[in-house]
Amino acid sequence: MSGFTPDRVRDRWATSQMILGVAFFLLTAAFFRAQVLGFQDYRLQSEKNRLRQVPLMAPRGAILDRNERIIADNEPGYTVKLFSPSVDSMRAVLARFRSVAPLDSAEVETIVRRFEGAKYQPALVISGAKFEVVSRLEEHRYLLPGLVIQTEPRRIYRSRAAVAHLVGYVAEVTEDELVKDRYSGARMGSLVGRDGLEQQYDSVLRGVDGVRYTEVDARGRMVREEVSSPSLAPIAGNVIKTTIDLGVQEFVDSMWSAALPGTKGALVAMTPDGQILALYSAPTFDPNLFIGGIESNAWNALNTDPAKPLLNRAIRGTYPPASPFKLATAVMALRKGVVTFDSHMPEPCRGGFQYGNRYFHCWKKEGHGSLDLTGAIAASCDVYFYQLGLRLGLPSLLEDGTTLGFGDRSGVDLGSEQRPSYPENTEYFNRRYGARGWSNAATLNLAIGQGENSQSLMNMMRFYAALAGDGTVGPPYLVKARAAAKPRSLGLTPTQILGLRMAMVKVVEHGTAAASGGKELNVAGKTGTAQNATGKNHGWFIGYAPADHPKIVVGAIMESLGGHGGAYVAPYVVQVIRRYLAAMDPSLAKAKVKVPILEDSVAAPTVIPGDTGRP
Amino acid sequence: MRREGLDRALILVVILLTGFGILMVYSAGQTDVPTLARGAWMRQLAWVGLGVISAAIVFRVNFRLLEWAAPGLYTLGLLLLVVVLLVGTGAGSAAHSKSWLSVGGVRIGQPVELAKLGTILLLARYLSSLRDPPSTLRALLMPGLIAGVPLLLVMAQPDLGSAIVFLGILFSMLFWAGVAPRLLLLLASPAVSLLLAADTRWWGAWMFLLFVLLVIWRAYVAEGVLIYIVNAAMGVLAIIIWNRMKPYQQQRLITFIRPESDPIRSGYQAIQSKVAIGSGGLFGSGLLNGPQKRLAFLPEQYTDFIFAVLGEELGFAGVVVALGLFLALFLIILRIARRATDPFSSLVVFGVLGLFFTHLFENVGMTINVMPITGIPLPFFSYGGSFVLAASLAIGLVLRVAWDSRQSGYADV
């Protein structure tokens, strides 16, 4: 064949060599581009392929009481998570998962949503799983590719329901909260504080989650842990020390659940300088229910309960302040200088007071006669305070009341405190009723703590703490006072404060001639019965002791008590006072307590006999 | 005396490549998750043993006998391809195509590998029998038919990769037979037209260029018109062919152009393969240690994508060594083709070169995304009995040609 002459073959041989050279050069260049120039990018992709981040939950800081007793801490718990390459395979594995451990379809949807939110991380399936569940899952691991079981710290509140409203609880952060960056540093699956101290001090308590890298195969199954990539150790949250006295807190809970089952209300105990010793709201709930995700029927039960156990009545409930507010009227009158302790009002009490075309009753039908301020405070005489209010005048009553803080939150270091309602000025009445729609009679109502006035227990406590102390008090606090909240001053001289205190215990001293032998504990305080538009009357009692040198202020509100009102509440407050003081001075455990229980039910001061059994 | 007639360089390179290949098949089986590849290297070793024996047998066959038997072997290959179309089964990387011949449920091989050798032999016989190299399109009709029939049969399986190999064999052997490159270009022009039909502007530009080339090369008017019409028809046909393609074939073409368009299914292989190679860097993650391979991210890691394992574990250095060995092999085969005693032997050797080169370029190009994913084996590396045997037979043929030429005094200078 003519094509195979030596020179033609040599030509084609040379051409072939050239073609081979070019082809190999191109291939080598392609590899050079990928392996040498693109190395970093592909290396990263390869890592992303095979390494999955497993977040390591940081242990949350403990919450301690003032004596370093533990209110909240952690115990080891199991967390079950799943890796998956795709949503479909996640669903398939979850379907098998359900044959091993219970999961309802709503939970499955939640898990799939978590997975879609962070595909390269394992999705949380169960947090705080029980040991039996974990061991069943381990047995069926071959069915469940991508299964990760971690031991993770699990929150525990050993005082259970006693501290529910105080500490709140923790729960997984929601997508909405993440979008709004409500909790800075929180990520999908992070546990954040809800309610109470857990929420208020979340940023202190939470700590920083760590990361561990786990190698997975192409089907998302875990192959081995902690490969070459370093893992990031979690940083534990900080411990917070509170002003709470856990002994008192638990005492309140056991007292309430034993003696007052079904009674709704709240109790707050604090020192005169605003350190909260106990904060309790009834009915309560077990915050441990929320740990690891609350079961839906438990959640529904809590939410639909008409008694609203989730409501913190100490800061969220507002009530007409009733008689305890008379002290506020007295403070306003004294600082304005319109009365002294000896001042009598023009009209003596004959069981009522005619104002315009209306007749305003005193709670005591027989009347108190002519009283000075001291006597009127001791007897809680309505007629005297009607006239005192008129002497102050409505604008002054509103302005000074606002200055004393009745229009503002107490500023306690807890979230979602309800703002009390107290009119700032007469404009309020004009707006609400029209310029001619109201009369000066509003003055009379306000002067005795009724009318357009609604206070939370915490805010009233702040006022009484000032009375029990030196006349000035900052916001109440559990950990530390809010820097932004200014201290409030009553604007009285020490002598005037002393006079008010004396007035509050005067009846007691008069009523009980000789508290024969033994030690005595004088409690100064004020009962109150607040009308309830929707049911039976609410009862108040706010008191402090020892009356001459107060160490503790305790106040309580109980809802829908009916006739007895404040007189019913007082003995429980006294028990708490005694429990606290007896811890410091055991002799007080058996002391006779003198406490002014007035108004509606018992006119005379009542002497509560000393406790015999309990310390 | 006989030992001296053996091409030692060829044997050395083939041994190195085969050893390298078995090492990679072994490594491909070392995964953290069980895969089919686990014991493959031992089976591959057995196939290589069988391959050595067959190569030795072929080495002893006189080329005149082969020349005589070429039509028979070719026909046998075609027959098997037809049989496979009727009763074939899919397996491995070609699970959805009828490429395997099974007897009683046992897969005994992929006849296409035999058909490739048969086609080389028959083309060599036909071309060497001509007085002058084909210089017209009409003269190219016969070789086109010889390669075209098996090509269409494998397209029907469907096996696009092997179809391309038949084209590679045809064009390389026509070139070696002395067909003018411009004629080859004109012959290839319908395929170019087919590819460019996807974009009207490119296609228009190509048609213009073709017209200019036809004028410059002064082709026969009839042939020029014919080529021009065929090219135009291809532009139209492309649409029809596209519409008649199986969805997975369409997907493969799309994936070739944009692998990211479907990262989970068809783009998956392309992406994972390139990630494996790219993450290998200069020196790789070390033999047996490629994470992409170990964790089964790499598909078909012991057959079609074995070169990605090499790239991941041995890095650019390993790739250069492997490609260097291939280049050496090809240059040796090219030298043997040049020094062959007669046109038939020379054409057979060059056909083998075309076969290996097409396989290499397509397979390696696919792992690094410069060629579409077609699923054909990499010579000496990919696991698979049929191709090991075919490659061994081919090497046996080349060795024989080298021996013959040395016997006739064409020794190294």
pLDDT (0 to 100) of residue A607: 40
Whether the link from the prior residue into A234 is cis, omega within 30° of 0, is no
Q: Does A219 touch chain B if contact means CB atoms closer than 8 Å?
A: yes
Closest Cα in chain B, distance from residue A213 (Å): 14
Helix (H) or strand (E) holding B291: helix B291-294
Q: How far is A215 from chain B (nearest CA, A)?
A: 9
The predicted pLDDT at position A320 comes to 87
| Mean pLDDT, residues A441-449 | 86
Q: Which of B130, B133, B295 sits opposite A217 (nearest CB)?
A: B295
Q: Is B403 on the interface with A (CB under 8 A)?
A: no
pLDDT single digits (tens) A277-333: 999 999 999 999 888 778 788 889 999 999 999 999 999 999 888 888 999 999 999
| A217 lies within 8 A of chain B by CB | yes
B266: which 2 tokens?
């068809």
What is the model's pLDDT at position A275? 95
| Distance, C-alpha B293 to centroid of its chain | 25
Q: How confident is the model at residue A232 (pLDDT cuts 50, 70, 90)?
A: confident
| Range B232-241, long-range pairs (CB < 8 A, 24+ positions) | B232/B193, B232/B207, B233/B190, B234/B190, B234/B191, B234/B193, B234/B194, B234/B197, B235/B193, B235/B194, B235/B196, B235/B197, B235/B203, B235/B207, B236/B197, B237/B194, B237/B197, B238/B193, B238/B194, B238/B195, B238/B197, B238/B198, B239/B197, B241/B194
**Model confidence at A368, in pLDDT bands (50, 70, 90)?**
confident
Question: Which pLDDT score, from 0 to 100, does residue B318 have?
Answer: 96
At residue B149, the pLDDT reads: 95
In total, the C-beta contacts within 8 angstroms joining chain A to chain B are 142
DSSP-based three-state secondary structure for A146: coil
Chain A CB contacts of B132 under 8 Å are 1-3
Q: Cα(B336)–Cα(B26) distance, rounded to whole angstroms?
A: 32
Whose tokens are 């077990």? That residue is A286
For residue A51, give the chain B residue with the closest CA.
B291
Highest mean pLDDT among A340-344, A378-382, B292-296: A340-344
Answer whether residue A89 shows pLDDT above 90.
Answer: no
Asked if residue A61 lies in contact with residue A207, where contact means CB atoms within 8 angstroms, the answer is yes
Nearest residue in A to B358, CA atom: A23
Number of other CB atoms surrounding residue B111 within 10 Å: 27
Residues of B in contact with A217 (CB under 8 A): 32-33, 295-297
pLDDT for the residue numbered B413: 37
**Set of chain B residues whose Cβ sits within 8 Å of the Cβ of A215:** 291, 295
CA neighbor of B275 nearest in space, from B288, B290, B254: B290
Q: Is the peptide bond before B143 cis (omega within 30 degrees of 0)?
A: no
Residues 248-277 on A with a CB inside 8 Å of B are: none
Q: Distances in Å between the alpha carbon of A121 and those of A10, A83, A85, A116, A144?
A: 63, 7, 10, 10, 16
Examine the pLDDT at A215 and tell me if it is beyond 50. Answer: yes
Convert the pLDDT of each residue in A385-421 to its tens digit.
Answer: 999 999 999 999 999 999 999 999 999 999 889 999 8
A221 touches chain B (CB under 8 A): yes
Cβ contact (<8 Å) for A1 and B368?
no
* Angle made by CA atoms A209, A211, A217, in degrees to the nearest 5: 145
Q: What is the pLDDT of residue A311?
A: 93
Task: Give the pLDDT score at A166.
Answer: 94
Name the pLDDT band for A516 (thresholds 50, 70, 90): very low
Q: Which among A345, A327, A352, A351 has a CA at the least distance from the CA of A387? A: A345
Percentage of chain A beyond pLDDT 70 is 92
Q: How far is A54 from chain B (nearest CA, A)?
A: 18
Q: What is the DSSP string of A316-355?
A: H-EE---GGGHHHHHHHHHHHTS--TTPBPSSPBSSEEEE
**Which 256-285 residues of chain B touch chain A by CB within 8 A?**
264, 272, 274-282
Q: Do B297 and A28 touch (CB under 8 A)?
A: no
Looking at residue A606, its pLDDT comes to 35
In the prediction, which pLDDT does B409 show? 73
pLDDT at A138 over 60: yes
Q: What is the pLDDT of residue B357?
A: 97
* pLDDT winner (highest mean) among A381-385, A574-578, B119-123: B119-123
What are the residues whose beta carbons fall under 8 Å from the beta carbon of B357, sequence distance 6 or more? Answer: A20, A23, B168, B172, B330
Note whether B280 contacts A35, CB cutoff 8 Å: yes
Per-residue model confidence (pLDDT) at position A53: 72
Which residues in chain B show pLDDT less than 70?
1-4, 90-97, 103-106, 252, 255-267, 410-413
- Which helix (H) or strand (E) segment holds residue A375: the answer is helix A373-379
Per the CB < 8 A criterion, the answer to whether A273 and A239 are in contact is no
At A127, is the pLDDT very low, low, confident or very high (cuts 50, 70, 90)?
confident
Distance (Å, rounded) from C-alpha A92 to C-alpha A522?
71
Residue A548, pLDDT above cutoff 90: no
| Tens-place pLDDT, residues A167-183 | 999 988 888 888 888 88
Q: Which of A3, A10, A43 sits opposite B281 (nearest CB)?
A: A43
Interface check for B292 against chain A (CB to CB < 8 A): the answer is yes
Cα A205 from Cα A197, distance rounded (Å): 9
| pLDDT value, residue B262 | 59
B410 shares contact with chain A (CB less than 8 Å)? no
A133 compared with B336, residue with greater pLDDT = B336
Please indicate if any CB of chain A lies within 8 Å of the CB of B133: yes
Cα B75 to chain centroid, rounded: 20
Residue A104 has pLDDT above 70, yes or no: yes
The nearest CA of chain B is from the CA of A92 a distance in Å of 18
Which are the contacts of A94, defined by CB distance < 8 A and separation ≥ 6?
A82, A103, A108, A111, A112, A125
Considering only alpha carbons, which residue of chain B is nearest residue A14?
B334
CA nearest neighbour of A166 among A273, A236, A259, A250: A250
Residue numbers of A between 38 and 97 with CB closer than 8 Å to B: 38-39, 41-43, 45-46, 49-50, 86
Q: So what's the pLDDT on residue A613?
A: 33
**pLDDT tens for residues A452-510?**
889 999 999 999 999 998 888 889 999 988 877 788 888 899 999 988 888 887 654 44
Query: Distance (Å) from the C-alpha of residue B200 to the closest C-alpha of chain A?
Result: 28
Please give the Cα distance from A10 to A19 (Å, whole number). Answer: 14
First to last CA, chain B: 18
Q: Residue A612 above 60 pLDDT? A: no
B343 touches chain A (CB under 8 A): yes
